[in-house]
Amino acid sequence: MSNLRRFYDVPKGHQHGEDSLALKFLTINDFKMDGRTVFLRVDINSPIDPTNKTILDDSRIRATRETLDALRNAKVVLGSHQSRPGKEDFTTLEEHASLLRRYCSQEVSFVEDVMGPAARNAIRELKRGQILVLDNLRTCSEETLEAPPERLAKTMMIKRLASVCDFYVNDAFAAAHRTQASLVGFAYILPAAAGRLMEKELKTLNAVLWEPKHPCIYVLGGAKVEDKLPVVESILEEGRADTVILGGLMAKVFLKAKGLELSKGDEEDMAELKEYVLKAKTILDKYHSRIKLPIDLAFSKGNRRFEASVKKIGINEPSLDIGRETTKEYVQTIKESNTIVANGPMGVFEKEGFDNGTKIVLEAIGSSKGTTLIGGGHLAGLANMLGIEDKFSHVSTAGGAMLMMLAGQTLPGVQALVQAAEKYRRQNP
């Protein structure tokens, strides 16, 4: 908490702390970047169709628009990761580069290299008003190290790329919770600024962080249990959330922790998540009255949707959605809330017949008169598909980073910008 206050302090008399935020890190407006070479870190990690490896949703690519426009007279070297090595959606950034052309006025080229001679020569040849997209930064193993910023600043990747760039701009809010070279290393060496999206996300989320209107609820689904469990604990402990509503794998872990017998398929998944079930149990022991769990679940039986009460499941298949009774209850709680934060789907909504829970819950959040924040690729993508993306107070490009910030933790990517600003101010009083 004390760390966080240093970065996002809300001074007396300021409603949302925007002024204090603006003071803590530098932005593109603080530098003259025209004609200069700028390394721009974005997070355009996108969902990829497993069958043909094409990008399914370009929301994160679109979200770079304002920053690219602000840098239209600079020479931009754009870097991002896409998934993680070894995963199916770990691809090059060639298609990302093509899609970027739709959202900016600059000429965009792509180089299948990150820090080698091909990349550095292409950077040296950049002209004002051009963008060079480097290949997936995680093809370079140094980018996948999680280490302290001062160590990452000494990697070959940072040293080589910084030697051909004048400025660093971080617009990758969605990856700001990772301590990786391109997110924290450059700011040690180059004058560093936040991009427009980074600014916007921080300002919007800062307001909810400090002044949530109660009742405030968090609707958490999806996987990445390891990221979400600490968030659930801290928001309940600190009173940031009055109630937490769970779906997806998160709900299964808590149902198991409550001592319920899940379906055979779900029990098999739980065998690998024992440590999280134990953790969930300690959270439930303290906060059970503020955690809402499904009372019924949906399964696929003979290719048809079948629902069962969680008290009496007796079925082999894994659950794929929350049931209708649960959905009704969740919608009611959403209606009674003044702040709603949501991340992750209620089930396997991509599977036909099992999008009910996620869709109805998301629509209910969209209809709320309160402050509504949704984040993560799944919910943002679904909101786009349903054409309701403008019904929310804010659709964050981030999942994990959004939750970590709202849980009151410091984001390493933001911390690096703040430290770079302090250093810059000391050197340029």
We find the least distance from the C-beta atom of residue 167 to ligand 3PG, in angstroms, to be 23
**Residues at the site binding ligand 3PG, with contacts judged by CB under 6 A:** 43, 45, 84, 174-175, 178, 399-400
Q: Which is nearer to ligand 3PG, 212 or 377 (CB)?
A: 377
User: How far is Cα of residue 146 from the mean position of the Cα atoms in its chain?
Assistant: 18
Adjacent-strand bridge partners of 246:
220
- Which candidate in 17, 24, 41, 60 is catalytic? 60
We find the least distance from the C-beta atom of residue 90 to ligand 3PG, in angstroms, to be 10
Say if residue 258 is exposed, middle or buried (CB neighbours under 10 Å; 0-12, 13-18, 19+). middle
Q: 365, 327 in Cβ contact below 8 A?
A: no
We find the least distance from the C-beta atom of residue 369 to ligand 3PG, in angstroms, to be 30
We find the least distance from the C-beta atom of residue 319 to ligand 3PG, in angstroms, to be 24
Known active-site residue 65: no
Question: How is residue 222 written in tokens?
Answer: 């999806």
Known active-site residue 264: no
Q: Which is nearer to ligand 3PG, 174 or 298 (CB)?
A: 174
We find the least distance from the C-beta atom of residue 231 to ligand 3PG, in angstroms, to be 14
Other C-beta atoms lying within 10 Å of the C-beta of residue 42: 29
Known active-site residue 252: no
Q: How far apart are the first and last CA of the chain?
A: 29
Q: Which is nearer to ligand 3PG, 318 or 413 (CB)?
A: 413
**Non-local CB neighbours of 216 within 8 Å, separated by 6+ positions:** 240, 241, 242, 337, 338, 339, 340, 341
Distance CA 409, CA 407 (A): 6
Question: How is residue 200 written in tokens?
Answer: 């916007």
User: Which strand (E) or helix (H) includes residue 219?
Assistant: strand 216-220
Q: Which is nearer to ligand 3PG, 60 or 256 (CB)?
A: 60
| Residue number with the smallest Cβ distance to ligand 3PG | 45
- Which candidate in 65, 72, 224, 335 is catalytic? 224
Residue type, 93: L
Q: Which is nearer to ligand 3PG, 178 or 279 (CB)?
A: 178
Q: Which is nearer to ligand 3PG, 262 or 383 (CB)?
A: 383
The sheet carrying 37-41 orders its strands as: 107-110, 130-133, 75-79, 37-41, 167-170, 192-194
For 246, the 3-state DSSP assignment is strand
Adjacent-strand bridge partners of 27:
194
Q: Which is nearer to ligand 3PG, 318 or 399 (CB)?
A: 399
- Which candidate in 377, 399, 408, 413 is catalytic? 377
We find the least distance from the C-beta atom of residue 282 to ligand 3PG, in angstroms, to be 25
Question: How is residue 207 written in tokens?
Answer: 């307001």
We find the least distance from the C-beta atom of residue 368 to ligand 3PG, in angstroms, to be 25
- State the maximum Cα–Cα separation within the chain, in Å, rounded to a whole number: 71
Known active-site residue 60: yes
Q: Smallest Cα–Cα separation from 308: which of 298, 321, 318, 293? A: 298
Any idea which residues carry the catalytic annotation? 60, 224, 377, 400
